[in-house]
Amino acid sequence: MRVPLPRPQTANEWIEYAYTGAGEVIDRVREAQVLLVNKCRITAEVMDQAPGLKMIQLMATGMDNVDQVAARERGIVVRNVVNYGPDAVAEHAMACVLQLTRRVPEWQGLVNAGQWSKSRFFCMHDFPMRSLKSMTLGVLGNGAIGDHVAQFARAFGMAVIRVERRDATEVRPGYVAFQEALARCDVLSLHCPLNDQTRGLMGAAEFAAMKPGAILVNTARGALVQFDALKASLDSGHLGGAAIDVLEIEPPPADHPMLTWSHPRCIVTPHIAWATLEAQANLASIAMRQVEEFMRGVSQ
């Protein structure tokens, strides 16, 4: 994080590490009573080596890096931070939609290559562009981020549909069935959690069912998308574009298929949709308020 963490007012001994590798976790948590952590894995083994541990405060919304069953069995409170920056993620999603519909990276590439200077005319028409007012956005995931994306999209004049879960036995009022939505959406934005039902959600069959020229945006979890299928759909020209802010392994290995392959209609960013300075400050504030409340409760 690029913003400082506030300190709790309750008396404490504060120890901070800028980075902790997997092999350093146990040694660094042995004496901890309250642990602030983001992506480090906190397993039952780690907890057993920290007998005084009473609280784990995640500096994130996702909780999959902590063994929550083991924590409950040991009486350890686990808290996360929710809704600290839904507008930040939604802004990023819409920025990517605008880049892909107005072809911003491709125009910039032509300019950098000197093509504008060589043109006989004042402007260029190499890439067709679309107005958002003519497009339909599908939002899969009904949390605060999805709500903000829908709000921003409507401000641009887009039609917005709520997409029902793929495995739903019935369609909720106000929602559109998953397969129908794939065929209708010009843009599909993913905001659903990663679980057994959503892992690999978007694969070859789903991309084939999407409207020709449609755009996929994923700012949720990397493993929602099957990347080989995404690449094939973009290479074939069926998909009109994709914006990926998350991968299933982070940081990814240098030979990850989304890093070794480059496509002018695919934007890959390093899990930064959430990371405006305002959202980081809000995350820190909420997390420390929760820690403070816990510490006061324990000390009373």
| pLDDT tens for each residue of the chain, 300 residues long | 778 888 888 888 899 898 899 899 999 999 999 999 998 999 999 999 999 999 999 999 888 899 999 999 999 999 999 999 999 999 999 999 999 999 998 999 999 999 999 999 999 999 999 999 999 999 999 899 999 999 999 999 999 999 999 999 999 999 999 999 999 999 999 999 888 999 999 999 999 999 999 999 999 999 999 999 999 999 999 999 999 999 999 999 999 999 999 898 999 999 999 999 999 999 999 999 999 999 988 654
- Give me the residue spans of the domains in the chain: 22-82+277-299, 86-268
Domains 22-82+277-299 and 86-268 share a fold: yes
Active site residue ranges:
221, 250, 271
pTM: 0.90
Q: Is 129 left (phi over 0), alpha (psi -120 to 50) or beta?
A: beta
The reported pLDDT for the residue numbered 2 is 76
Statement: 22-82+277-299 belongs to CATH 3.40.50.720 = yes
CA distance 107 to 7: 47
Residues 14, 7: contact at Cβ < 8 Å? yes
Residues 160, 142: contact at Cβ < 8 Å? no
The reported pLDDT for the residue numbered 178 is 97
- Give the CATH fold of the 86-268 domain: Rossmann fold (3.40.50)
The reported pLDDT for the residue numbered 298 is 64
CA distance 78 to 76: 6
